[in-house]
Amino acid sequence: MADDYQMPKGELMAGKRGIVTGVANHQSIAWGIACQLAAQGAEMAFLHLPGMERRVQPLAESIGVKVVAPMDVTDDASVDAAFSSVKQAFETIDFFVHAIAFANRDELKGSFVDNTTRQGFLRAMDISAFSFVDCARRAAAMMPETGGSIITLTYMGSERAIPNYNTMGVAKAALEAASRYAARDLGPKGIRVNALSPGAMKTLSLAGISGGRAMLAKGRGLSAMKADTSMEGVAGAALWLLSDLGKSTTGELVHVDAGFHIMGFTEDEEEA
């Protein structure tokens, strides 16, 4: 599976250990990032949503990840147990990847104003934004005096109103603000916190959004490069931020979307 991607090999992560969350299958962004980190010598633990063992275990084994444990971020006991199992295996960690998001399908379509419920809003916020704060605190507590690096995954639906992204856009805006506050708190400890904002990619999460395919096609068509966002590009940006290459970068929101976020209108629209 790791060979699906052309991830540059090297030693940028040699001697570093960390946690990767959010691997659900071979299309997960977390999986692409994990493949790149493994190719650069990182040792990892995977914390996955309970019930995903059958899919996650073989992926983990294929890149030499030995620590694999369930973690439901809505359940404190589950998060406690997951972090304990990592502590037993690794005394300290150098990096943490947060790649977790969820909103009810009904909230990811049509009118934001009409379709957003209290329960759905809070659930999206809990899983997609609060879980980052909770995990960042626990991960930072496991990092050595020399510091560490934390990244989260967001999407431009936080900055602009994208059709159907709705509640998730609001949760991503909270997540991005949380990453800046965490960067401020943890900076003096040498811990860097950054958010990566890929363009639309074909994953399970995208399939949950009404018109997900259109998000892919529009993202490509409206991007500066007229190209899809590649897993290699996202994983490369993660490697930069998680390795010592990213030494002086923190509190940053890095778009990896083939230039989707910089565009005003297209040439077609200009002519109209």
Write out the residues near ligand NAD by the rule CB under 6 A: 22-24, 28-30, 49, 52, 71-74, 99-102, 127, 153-155, 198, 200-201, 203-206
The C-alpha atoms of residue 41 and residue 235 are separated, in whole angstroms, by 14
- We find the least distance from the C-beta atom of residue 92 to ligand NAD, in angstroms, to be 23
In whole angstroms, the minimum distance from the beta carbon of 136 to ligand NAD comes to 14
Establish how many alpha carbons lie within 13 A of residue 65's alpha carbon, considering only the half-sphere containing its beta carbon. Answer: 31
Residue 245 CB, nearest approach to ligand NAD (Å): 22
Question: Exactly one of 165, 182, 205, 254 is catalytic; which is it?
Answer: 165
Task: Determine the Cα angle at 149 with ends 33 and 165, to 5°.
Answer: 55
Specify the residue, 94 or 257, whose C-beta has the smaller distance to ligand NAD: 257
Is residue 5 annotated as part of the catalytic site, yes or no? no
Q: Which of 153, 155, 174, 243 is catalytic?
A: 155
Taking phi over 0 as left and psi of -120 to 50 as alpha, with beta for the rest, 174 belongs to alpha
10 or 221: CB nearest ligand NAD:
221
What is the number of other CB atoms lying within 10 angstroms of the CB of residue 101?
A: 22
| Minimum gap (Å) between residue 230 Cβ and ligand NAD | 12
Fill in the DSSP letter of residue 230: P
C-beta of 174: minimal distance to ligand NAD in Å?
A: 12
Report the residue number, 14 or 262, with the smaller CB distance to ligand NAD: 262
| 161 or 272: CB nearest ligand NAD | 161
Sign of the CA dihedral running 231, 71, 120, 178 = negative
Among the listed residues 166, 102, 179, the one whose alpha carbon sits nearest the alpha carbon of residue 140: 179
Rounded to the nearest whole angstrom, what is the least distance from the CB of residue 119 to ligand NAD in the complex? Answer: 15
Q: Name which of 22, 98, 232, 269 is nearest 256 in CA terms.
A: 232
Amino acid letter for position 180: R
Name, in order, each residue with C-beta under 8 angstroms of 265's C-beta and a sequence gap of 6 or more.
none
Task: Yes or no: say if 228 and 220 are a contact pair by the CB < 8 Å rule.
Answer: yes
Closer residue to ligand NAD (CB): 29 or 242: 29
Nearer to ligand NAD, 24 or 38 (CB): 24
Say whether 194 sits in a helix, a strand or coil. Answer: strand
Cα separation values, 158 from 84, 153, 168, 186, Å: 33, 12, 8, 23
Residues tagged active-site: 155, 165
